[in-house]
């Protein structure tokens, strides 16, 4: 069997795209490998959101020049968000002439014909669809896990946050038909999937491009009825579209996990306006109060950007004070990085790297004690955990996640992977819990 190596950079959306690529390649007779020396095809699925991800692609692609010289028959392909940007694509093709195939986020389903076209001609093949993708429902996925799965419910984004390149790389928002989503999840459940995570740049706006009145909450209700599915998660949820109806869904849908990832990005109204987020800190706090009133034990996580252009000390302290008020279970924290092609890239008053790092550490010093305290409250409780993997450091230790998304380590045997088990929580750390199998 021929071999393909797929190297994925970026978010869950990219990870799921790579699962689709793996399924397509398997249908063409390619098995997976992690060894570039035995690969017949190497595919880099790229991310344009963070500069660090771009830098890793540049570095690793450069390392393949020698491999291509030794094995000229190997096929090197680039896809994903970076390839949707004209400037980066042109740079790649000029600097890295050992690339054979380039395609974007909107035409993964065309990979077989692109590969055949290159193999027949021996020439570079570039195929980029600029407009919002046509949803190709016939493309399935070679799922990384049997017990949990990502499911795209929509593609693209209409929000145009001033720091974000996603609307330019993944196109405008488009929802999948609910019947197709339900069918996909029903098939996953029949094959052993217990937990599904619904993906979209803004799942709260799901349904707006459909030809009927059908909302994200309607979709959640229908998924909740599927036999075999035990947990429903979703990301990402935009605060401006988070509704009272969605908050109430947590009280009526027994499979909807008590975890809400609601990215706030900043606690400063002035910075939120500059980011084009279309809500205020007061709006955000009101919506958090809804969900906490309805589900007191819910786990709330967020995204935060430090050092956005023009951020003053007072703006930063607004973010700190918001974190103290909301008391997030955890947060993905980022140093602002310039993304060429976004409005924020040309803004004045860029914050110095030194100040960004200083504020970043102060933010972590605020967040971490809160996360630890919230974790300690779970000591002595019994938590239902979906077992995910064996520890890389100790073959006798397993790890999995609670309904609220907390990572738990405990002693157990490999046959428990993929099962839901009860764990007595005995110890809490900032990012993890430890317990004993009940």
| DSSP β-ladder status, 75-80 and 397-402 | unpaired
For residue 293, what pLDDT is reported? Answer: 97
- Pairing relationship of beta strands 259-261 and 101-103 according to DSSP bridges: unpaired
* Cβ atoms of 38 and 4 closer than 8 Å: no
DSSP-derived secondary structure letter, 393: S
Sheet holding 330-335, edge to edge: 259-261, 299-306, 330-335
pLDDT per residue as tens, the chain (438 positions) = 899 999 988 778 888 888 889 888 988 889 999 999 999 999 999 887 777 777 788 788 888 889 999 999 999 999 888 887 777 788 877 888 888 999 887 788 888 889 988 988 888 988 877 655 555 665 666 677 789 998 999 988 889 999 988 777 777 889 999 999 999 999 999 999 999 999 998 999 999 999 999 999 999 999 999 999 999 999 989 999 999 999 999 999 999 999 999 999 999 999 999 999 999 999 999 999 999 999 999 999 999 999 999 999 999 999 999 999 999 999 999 999 888 788 998 998 999 999 999 999 999 999 999 999 999 999 999 999 999 999 878 889 999 999 999 999 999 999 999 999 999 999 999 999 999 999
Report the predicted TM-score, pTM, of the whole model to 2 decimal places: 0.80
| Domain map (residue ranges) of the chain | 2-127, 148-376, 382-437
CB 391 within 8 A of CB 413: no
Specify the pLDDT at position 91.
80
Q: Of 324, 317, 299, nearest to 406 (Cα)?
A: 299
Strand partners, 198: 151, 234
Q: Is 2-127 CATH 3.40.50.12160?
A: yes
Q: Residue 140 has what pLDDT?
A: 66
Identify each DSSP E strand in 58-190 by its residue range. 75-80, 101-103, 125-127, 148-152, 154-155, 174-175
Q: Kindly state the DSSP code that residue 82 receives in the 8-state scheme.
A: G
Q: Does domain 382-437 have CATH number 3.50.50.60?
A: no
Cβ–Cβ contacts within 10 Å for residue 304, how many? 21
Neighbours of 48 (CB within 10 A): 27
Tokens found for residue 187? 């098939």
User: For the domain 148-376, what is the CATH code?
Assistant: 3.80.30.20
Contact predicate 46/8, CB 8 Å: no
Q: In Å, what is the CA distance from 416 to each residue of 203, 232, 274, 413, 433?
A: 32, 21, 48, 6, 18
Which pair of tokens denotes residue 236?
Answer: 């990402």
């Amino acid at each position: 069997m021929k071999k393909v190596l797929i190297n994925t950079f970026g978010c869950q959306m990219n990870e799921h795209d790579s699962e689709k690529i793996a399924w397509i390649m398997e249908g063409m007779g390619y098995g997976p490998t992690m060894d570039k020396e035995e690969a017949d095809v190497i595919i880099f699925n790229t991310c344009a959101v963070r500069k660090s991800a771009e830098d890793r692609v540049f570095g690793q692609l450069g390392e393949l020049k020698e491999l291509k010289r030794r094995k000229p028959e190997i096929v090197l392909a680039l896809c994903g968000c970076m390839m949707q940007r004209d400037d980066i694509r042109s740079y790649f093709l000029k600097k890295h002439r050992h690339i054979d195939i380039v395609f974007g986020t909107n035409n993964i389903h065309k990979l077989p014909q692109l590969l055949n076209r290159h193999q027949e001609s021996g020439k570079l093949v570039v195929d980029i669809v600029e407009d919002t993708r046509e949803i190709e429902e016939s493309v399935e996925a070679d799922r990384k896990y049997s017990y949990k799965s990502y499911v795209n419910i929509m593609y693209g984004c209409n929000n145009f946050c001033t720091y974000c390149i996603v609307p330019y790389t993944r196109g405008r928002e488009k929802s999948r038909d609910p019947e197709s989503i339900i069918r996909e999840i029903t098939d996953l459940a029949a094959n052993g999937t217990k937990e599904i995570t619904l993906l979209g740049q803004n799942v709260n706006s799901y349904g707006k491009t459909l030809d009927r009145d059908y909302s994200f909450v309607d979709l959640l209700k229908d998924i909740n009825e599927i036999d075999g599915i035990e947990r429903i998660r979703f990301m990402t949820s935009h605060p401006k579209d988070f509704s009272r109806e969605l908050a109430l869904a947590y009280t009526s849908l027994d499979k909807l996990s008590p975890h809400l990832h609601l990215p706030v990005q900043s606690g400063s109204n002035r910075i939120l306006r500059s980011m084009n987020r279309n809500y205020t800190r007061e709006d955000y706090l009101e919506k958090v109060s809804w969900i906490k009133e309805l589900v007191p034990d819910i786990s709330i996580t967020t995204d935060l950007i430090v050092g956005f252009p023009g951020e003053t000390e007072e703006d930063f302290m607004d973010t700190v004070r918001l974190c103290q008020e909301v008391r997030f279970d955890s947060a993905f924290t980022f140093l602002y990085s310039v993304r060429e092609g976004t409005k924020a890239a040309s803004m004045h008053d860029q914050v110095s790297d030194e100040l960004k790092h200083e504020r970043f550490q102060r933010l972590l010093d605020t967040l971490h004690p809160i996360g630890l305290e919230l974790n300690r409250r779970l000591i002595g409780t019994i938590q239902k955990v979906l077992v995910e993997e064996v520890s890389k450091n100790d073959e006798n230790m397993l790890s999995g996640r609670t309904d609220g998304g907390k990572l738990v380590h405990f002693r157990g045997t490999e046959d428990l992977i993929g099962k839901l088990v009860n764990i007595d929580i005995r110890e809490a750390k900032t990012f993890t819990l430890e317990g004993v199998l009940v």
